[in-house]
């Protein structure tokens, strides 16, 4: 059974967050259990893509109004990622360095049409190709219109028999746009119009949920949460629940391995505390802080969804008590939060530092060198950071939401099975209490030693998740045979 993943991101070619990690790893693990899988994504002008050797596998056009839009599909041949990676090249659409925008210029204003062009090219390629995939697996709103195009657009009717899976990695972003861009969608019967629409706009996320044969979310708890809080799609989620399931993400334990990770300073051998100590000291070349104190870190997008707006007050309040702790932050996001962190760095120099950028190396080094990882998220579909943190011996402090609830058992619940510290309410008081509890654990050497050892041994690899997806694929294929 051949599976084609359609995505806007895939690590290491292009990654902005967890979507890139998932699509970069899942196909490899599906291949391992004999589900040959490939990925198709836009050909951005990222450094990684520019450094690869590629070979064209298809050139063609798709019709748009009175015109034909040329495109090509190219395969990366210089590295073995564990699966074939195909890049869709459309002049003027993706030959830019950013995925969704540039750090300086901001969000690209033509993202709706860019990703529609991408989906149209994929549909056309599949139509022309002799060998069709058995399953088409679309990820997030960037490929959410493809299940509609394949089943309702006249031009692609002969592909309508191929089962589609749509995975919601983040239900906050819908990618919705005005009906005046509907000419970009290949023509379809008027009665299908309602499938594209939500709240009087074309909504790719809603459309993916309506039209895919099966819908998944990246954790079971997130699926439950979406039925009461999905940025306006709650009713739809409840309506479509019968064809939905939550599959918890895994992590790529070949990329994220503290014993071999080329991006960290000191590799793990048998002595966890010296591995931690050396990696913490190595952070001094990027951050101003005292490595003798417990270090609490936040890594991620500096947006409300991640609860990043709670951090400046939280950190300020705690450091103003004179507590012997340090806080480090790596991330980019809302300018207001950037300014708050910059001011905090002046106020608590040596106890708080921040790197306002996206930096893959530094993220790995922080997972390896920190004592605790803070995740005060308002929403967390799965969350990979807490999984990486545990694998690198960093104790997660998380709010009880989404995938964080599914993966972090509180120490108070079980001293033998506990994996970290959880708090329930999105308040300064709850978050502060969690940090005091963490410091208490840190001050008890046997507690922190046992905890680190335990979380580093957990198995969060993709093997189980790949099996869960393969079961979904199998059921869908059976439906086509009936």
CA 282 to chain centre: 27
Q: How many residues bind ligand ADP (CB under 6 A)?
A: 19
C-beta of 364: minimal distance to ligand ADP in Å? 8
C-beta of 316: minimal distance to ligand ADP in Å? 21
Binder of ligand ADP out of 155, 301, 338, 432 (CB under 6 A) = 301
C-beta of 229: minimal distance to ligand ADP in Å? 16
| Angstrom distances, CA of residue 340 to CA of 147, 310, 312, 315, 345 | 43, 11, 6, 11, 9
C-beta of 358: minimal distance to ligand ADP in Å? 4
C-beta of 386: minimal distance to ligand ADP in Å? 8
Closer of 24 and 42 to ligand ADP (Cβ): 24
Closer of 42 and 133 to ligand ADP (Cβ): 42
C-beta of 287: minimal distance to ligand ADP in Å? 14
Closer of 84 and 383 to ligand ADP (Cβ): 383
Closer of 151 and 386 to ligand ADP (Cβ): 386
Binder of ligand ADP out of 3, 6, 21, 406 (CB under 6 A) = 21
Closer of 19 and 159 to ligand ADP (Cβ): 19
Binder of ligand ADP out of 146, 268, 299, 395 (CB under 6 A) = 299
Binder of ligand ADP out of 4, 9, 10, 18 (CB under 6 A) = 18
Closer of 162 and 397 to ligand ADP (Cβ): 397
**Per-position x/- string for 122-161, each x denoting binding to ligand ADP as judged by CB under 6 A, each - no binding:** ----------------------------------------
Three-class secondary structure assignment of the chain: CCEEEECCCECCCECCCHHHHHHHHHHHHHHHCCCCEEEEEECCCCHHHHCCCEEEEEEEEEEECCEEEEEEEEEECCCCCCCCEEEEECCCCCCCCCCCEECCCEECCCHHHHHHHHHHHHHHHHHHCCCCCCEEEEECHHHCCHHHHHHHCHHHHHHCCCCEEEEECCCCCCCCECHHHHHHCCCCCHHHHHHHEECCEECHHHHHHHHCCEEEECCHHHHHHHCCCCCCCHHHHHHCHHHEEECCCCECCCCCCCCCCCCCCCCCCCCHHHHHHHHHHHHHHCCCECCCCCEEEEECCECHHHCHHHHHHHHHHHHHCCCCCEEEEECCECHHHHHHHHHHHHHCCECEEEECCCCHHHHHHHHHHCCEEEECCCCCCCCCHHHHHHHCCCEEEEECCHHHHHHCCECCCCCCCCCEEEECCCCHHHHHHHHHHHHHHHCCHHHHHHHHHHHHHCCCEHHHHHHHHHHHHHHHHHHHHC
For residue 67, give the nearest of 89, 87, 90 by alpha carbon: 90
C-beta of 312: minimal distance to ligand ADP in Å? 17
Query: Does residue number 46 form part of the binding site for ligand ADP (CB under 6 A)?
Result: no
Closer of 42 and 84 to ligand ADP (Cβ): 42
Residue nearest to ligand ADP (CB): 18
Closer of 148 and 341 to ligand ADP (Cβ): 341
Cβ atoms of 387 and 381 closer than 8 Å: no
**Per-position x/- string for 370-389, each x denoting binding to ligand ADP as judged by CB under 6 A, each - no binding:** ------------xxxx----
Q: 304 to 363, contacts with ligand ADP by CB under 6 A?
A: 330-332, 358-360, 363
C-beta of 15: minimal distance to ligand ADP in Å? 7
Query: Does residue number 254 form part of the binding site for ligand ADP (CB under 6 A)?
Result: no
Closer of 7 and 93 to ligand ADP (Cβ): 7
Closer of 169 and 214 to ligand ADP (Cβ): 169
Q: 164 to 203, contacts with ligand ADP by CB under 6 A?
A: 170
Query: Does residue number 300 form part of the binding site for ligand ADP (CB under 6 A)?
Result: yes
Q: Where do contacts with ligand ADP occur on this chain (CB under 6 A)?
A: 17-19, 21, 170, 299-301, 330-332, 358-360, 363, 382-385
């Amino acid at each position: 059974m051949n599976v084609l993943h359609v995505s806007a991101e895939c690590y290491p070619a292009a990654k902005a967050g967890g979507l890139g990690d998932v699509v970069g790893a899942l196909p490899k693990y599906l291949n391992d259990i004999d589900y040959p899988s490939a990925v198709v994504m836009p050909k951005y002008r990222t450094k990684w893509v520019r450094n690869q050797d590629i070979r064209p596998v298809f050139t063609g056009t798709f019709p748009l109004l009175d015109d034909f839009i040329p495109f090509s599909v190219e395969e990366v041949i210089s590295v073995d990622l564990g699966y074939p990676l195909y890049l869709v090249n459309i002049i003027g659409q993706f030959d830019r360095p950013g995925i969704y925008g540039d750090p300086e210029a901001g969000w690209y204003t033509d993202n709706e049409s860019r990703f529609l062009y991408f989906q149209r090219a994929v549909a056309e390629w599949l139509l022309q190709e002799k060998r069709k995939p058995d399953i088409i697996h679309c990820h997030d709103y960037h490929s959410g219109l493809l299940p509609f195009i394949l089943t309702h657009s006249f031009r692609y009717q002969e592909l309508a028999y191929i089962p589609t899976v749509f995975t919601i990695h983040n239900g906050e972003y819908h990618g919705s746009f005005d009906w005046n861009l509907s000419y970009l969608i290949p023509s379809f019967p008027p009665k299908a119009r309602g499938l594209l629409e939500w709240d009087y706009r074309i909504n790719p996320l809603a459309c993916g949920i309506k039209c895919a044969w099966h819908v998944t979310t990246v954790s079971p708890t997130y699926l439950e949460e979406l039925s009461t809080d999905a940025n306006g799609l709650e009713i739809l989620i409840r309506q479509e629940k019968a064809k939905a399931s939550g599959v918890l993400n895994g992590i790529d334990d070949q990329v994220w391995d503290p014993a071999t990770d080329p991006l960290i300073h000191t590799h793990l051998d048998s002595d966890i505390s010296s591995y931690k100590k050396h990696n913490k000291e190595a952070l001094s070349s990027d951050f101003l802080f005292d490595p003798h104190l417990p270090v609490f870190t936040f890594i991620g997008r500096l947006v409300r969804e991640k609860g990043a707006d709670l951090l400046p007050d939280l950190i300020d309040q705690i450091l103003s008590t004179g507590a012997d702790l340090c806080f480090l932050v790596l991330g980019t996001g809302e300018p207001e939060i950037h300014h708050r962190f910059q001011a905090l760095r002046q106020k608590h120099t040596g106890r708080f530092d921040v790197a306002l950028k996206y930096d893959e190396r530094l993220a790995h080094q922080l997972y390896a060198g920190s004592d605790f990882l803070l995740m005060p998220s308002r929403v967390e579909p799965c969350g990979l950071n807490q999984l990486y943190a545990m694998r690198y011996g960093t104790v997660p402090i998380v709010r009880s939401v989404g995938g964080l609830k599914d993966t972090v058992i509180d120490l108070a619940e079980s001293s033998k099975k506990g994996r970290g510290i959880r708090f329930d309410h999105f308040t300064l008081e709850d978050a502060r209490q969690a940090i005091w509890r963490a410091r208490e654990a840190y001050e008890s050497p046997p507690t922190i030693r046992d905890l680190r050892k335990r979380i580093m041994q957990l198995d969060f690899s993709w093997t189980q998740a790949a099996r869960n997806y393969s079961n979904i694929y199998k059921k869908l294929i059976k439906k086509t045979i009936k």
